[in-house]
Amino acid sequence: MRILRSKTGGEELRSIWRWELTLSAALLLLIVGLLGISFGPINLSFSSIVKSIFGSHNALSEQDQSVLFDIRLPRVILAALVGSALATSGAVYQTVFRNPLADPYLLGAAAGAGLGATIAITNSHQNVYGLLPIFSFLGAILAVLVSFFISGKFFAEPNTLLLSGIAVGSFATAIQTYLQQRHSASLRPVYSWILGELTAASWSVVSWSAIYISIALFILFAIAKQLDGLMLTDEEAYSLGVNPNRLRIIAVIAATLATATAVAASGLIGFVGIVVPHLVRGATHRVTNRALPTIALVGASFLVLADLGARTLLSPAELPIGVITAFVGAPFFLIVLRRKRLVNQ
């Protein structure tokens, strides 16, 4: 006779999520970050980087040191921030909309940001890059707000929200296309922005994006446990003490803030928000939202690696980072699709 022993609280928690996984993701980020800082058209050795960071002034030549601190470091940090923002908001959108193909650009955020960027590029003749982040940020936020409003009511069903997001996105794209046609000189800068680039990374960009992204991630990590309740139907969620409507609103607001900041800092980098959550969920065999911190860390590593590829694969030219994430993401989709089909058969 088998004696059945119910799990203790701690064991039960461990069966839902293990903190070692989060720790290994953090370690991965550290290693990938060091790789990212040392490679590029100018290669810097590990030891001199570490010595420079710890204050030594002659481990690297003055120019190399400037490359390291003024160009590489902010770029790698920005890649980590943007990667974590996109991955986390992708995971949250997938939970809120109960759709494994949801990405952070749902609800028209991408099209809105693109329109904002196009308006900035076609209207300012100097210091475009001062206005560009503000306009694309506002564009993303406004597009999501409009999606909410035209879906009828604020606590709308996820599917209705999705449809209004598609409508808003199409309209914004149409305006953007028209503006680009009227200002042919803007074609190249807008296209390059749409493909996503971290070239303009600097400490000032890192500072404001770090603030907004940290706020958004903090909110999302705080409600992570409750987000699991959204995977059930609304009635079941209520009975567990979770208010699904309010939770959805908070989650979408925080995720949109993270996405809009990421887009303002680096353009439209696709696939991170879809691929990374699935990667983590598939690798750890857990669908819980307690994995959000790990998803954020893995997202950061993913984008740092992609940026490394963008800087080195076609050196000295730069490959747009969106191309690399798409190259990884598209086959990934096929694998996920195949697995689902095999499971459902």
Q: Residues interacting with another protein, by CB under 8 A?
A: 40-42, 62-63, 66-67, 70-72, 126-129, 181-185, 188-189, 192, 197, 199-200, 202, 311, 315-318
Token digits of residue 182: 């009227």
Of the pair 38, 88, the CB lying nearest another protein is at 38
C-alpha triplet 145, 148, 252: angle, nearest 5° = 75
CA-based diameter of the chain, in Å? 81
Q: How many angstroms separate the Cα of 217 from the Cα of each of 142, 227, 244, 257?
A: 20, 14, 19, 9
- Min. distance of Cβ 129 from another protein in angstroms? 5
Compute the least distance from the CB of residue 20 to another protein, in Å.
37
Minimum gap (Å) between residue 70 Cβ and another protein: 5
- Residue (65 or 256) nearer to another protein, CB: 65
Q: How far is the CB of 82 from another protein (least distance, A)?
A: 16
CB of 210 to another protein, least distance (A): 18
- Does residue 124 sit in helix, strand or coil? coil
| Minimal distance, residue 315 CB to another protein, in Å | 6
- For the CA atoms of 124, 128, 134, 140, the dihedral, rounded to the nearest 10 degrees, stands at 80
Between residues 40 and 229, which has the closer beta carbon with respect to another protein? 40
Tokens matching residue 302: 């993913």
Residue 317 or 343 having the CB closest to another protein: 317
How many Cβ atoms from other residues are within 10 Å of residue 134's Cβ? 13
Q: Toward another protein, which CB reaches closer, 192 or 243?
A: 192
Cβ distance to another protein smaller for residue 164 or 266: 266
From the number of C-beta atoms within 10 Å of its C-beta (0-12, 13-18, 19+), residue 71 rates as: middle
Sign of the dihedral defined by the CA atoms of residues 232, 234, 236, 238, in that order: positive
